[in-house]
Amino acid sequence: MLWTVAPARDEPLFAQIATQVRTAVAAGELRTGDRLPPARVLAGSLEVNLHTVLRAYQDLRDEGLVDLRRGRGAVIAEHADYAALDAPVAALVAAARSAGVTPDATAALVRAAFARPTQEDR
């Protein structure tokens, strides 16, 4: 996997790193049990602060996508089938582009939808 960050982008560096992991998992490039590079090694190769990589790994851990264990590092956890979302996400992106909605606004709308209670929650 090729790791890159673009400091000029509006998205924080830690979020760019986390997005690359999510994308690689969704594409099947990273699978359950695969190890991510040690944070110190990745930070050095990307020329970013160690804490930037650790923040990305911690966010992925909080999402349940990565297991973080001392001495074992960051490992892709058993997770939901992201591939099942390929078609719906592609449709959402197409609709957002057609409507002139930015990626950040689209992501905010998705986060807001997750925050709303479902029928089962009521």
* pLDDT tens digit sequence for 84-113: 777 888 899 999 999 999 999 998 999 898
Least confident of 45-59, 61-75, 92-106, 107-121: 107-121
Of all residues in the chain, the percent with pLDDT exceeding 90 is 66
Report, as an integer, the average pLDDT of 32-37. Answer: 94
| Higher pLDDT pick, 121 / 95 | 95
| Higher pLDDT pick, 3 / 122 | 3
CA–CA distance, 91 with 4 (Å, rounded to integer): 27
Answer for the pair 74, 60: CB distance below 8 angstroms, yes or no.
yes
To 5 degrees, how large is the angle CA 113–CA 95–CA 26? Answer: 70
* Longest Cα–Cα distance in the chain: 48
